[in-house]
Amino acid sequence: MNKTVCALIAVLAITSPLLHPPSSTAAEPGRPQIVSPEVKADRTVVFRLLAPKVTQAAVNGEFGGRQPMTKDDSGLWSATVGPLDPDIYSYTFDVDGVQTVDPRNGYVKTGRSTTSLVQVPGESPTFYDAREIPHGAVTVQWYPSKSLGTLRRMHVYTPPGYDAARGAKLPVLYLLHGSGDDDSGWTWIGRANFIADNLIAEHKARPMVIVMPMGHAAPPPKPGEGAEAYIRNAAAFQDDLLKEVMPFVEKHYRVATDAAHTAIAGLSMGGGQSLAVGLKHPDRFAWIGAFSSGGNLRGKTDDLLADAKDMNQKLRLLWLACGKQDFLFKVNEQFDALLTERQITHEFHVTEGTHTWRLWRPYLREFLGKIFKEKAKS
């Protein structure tokens, strides 16, 4: 392929319909053609909403809070934000007090809540963009769970060139979502597949299978419930993971089964689950990642370390990460201190930022670059 085509692909990769459905930008009869969001060359973003009858409108986004929109004579509301750092931002419109998606934007985050997404591209494709390199696939896999008495779903990433029939067994990462998402979140919002593709192409991560199970296994928290709901959920999830998901994956995918080639990591609720399951089963998982963790980490953290004996011999990596402005920073900091006090080897990666996907994509990149390395143990 020549350079022009490569450059074209680089640009298209960011905006192409493969990453998100085409927006509804065709004009409807009798209505002006409204584009929203519009990402300008200077990285400002214009949001627009045709709503003549509405008396108050604003945009709320991960770019820093609520920004009022102003209405012109035709009833078109708009607001400009930025310039923004290149990244993917979640946002909603506030329409007379109702939170809604941007009706002109087909790029949405689904899960417990539905929000709109906008990518502000940088000069060149970044670590989560689809580039002109070999790509893996993501399989949506249904499986019967006897533990939970229902059919369940997981997403499974297989790396470029994966062949179910031939080759060595691959290391496997179990990657868990947060309470607001489901098993599709790490692919569609987190772009775990493209992050892995890019690292593998650069030889910065080993080819691996990434299993993204559904983390909701018990009813959601009741009003007023805190950590106990997450602890109950994690117990049900652990049963499903160890008794159903892992045997299913080990039967149907070409994956290694020893702890040295098995990792578990997750974000928020999934970070708490990774600690709850991983620290209790160091014979199954030698690599643990906990990003902006909540859930179980908000309960009695001593319980997480009940089986901490020999942990340093068994674990290859225990990696915590959290943003300083995250509402969960304090519990993460406390757990870091507890691990230090108990002399459990670990890393605590502290960054700027709050409790959003803007941190979890780079955390995953960091973590994938660290696991399954065959470094000598002293």
Subset of 66-125 contacting a second copy (CB under 8 A): 95-101, 103, 106, 108, 110-114
Distances in Å between the Cα of 36 and the Cα atoms of 48, 88, 116, 251 are 5, 15, 10, 46
Query: What is the total count of residues that contact a second copy (CB under 8 A)?
Result: 72
Are 292 and 267 in contact by the 8 Å Cβ rule? The answer is yes
Q: Does 23 bind a second copy (CB under 8 A)?
A: yes
Closer to a second copy by CB, 230 or 287: give it: 230
- Return the residues of window 233-262 that contact a second copy according to CB under 8 A: none
Q: Does 201 bind a second copy (CB under 8 A)?
A: no
- Return the residues of window 133-192 that contact a second copy according to CB under 8 A: 135-144, 146, 149-153, 163-166, 181-182, 184, 187
Question: Helix, strand or coil for residue 183?
Answer: coil
Closer to a second copy by CB, 33 or 343: give it: 33
CA dihedral 7, 8, 11, 14 (to 10 degrees): -120
Closer to a second copy by CB, 55 or 378: give it: 55
Of 150, 129, 179, 171, give the one whose Cα is nearest residue 18.
129
Closer to a second copy by CB, 146 or 330: give it: 146
Q: Does 340 bind a second copy (CB under 8 A)?
A: no
Q: Does 326 bind a second copy (CB under 8 A)?
A: no
Closer to a second copy by CB, 230 or 372: give it: 230
Using omega within 30 degrees of 0 as the cis cutoff, is the peptide bond preceding 223 cis?
no
In whole angstroms, the minimum distance from the beta carbon of 131 to a second copy comes to 8
Strands 172-176 and 209-213: parallel
Q: Does 196 bind a second copy (CB under 8 A)?
A: no
Phi-psi region of 43 (alpha: psi -120 to 50; beta: other; left: phi over 0): left
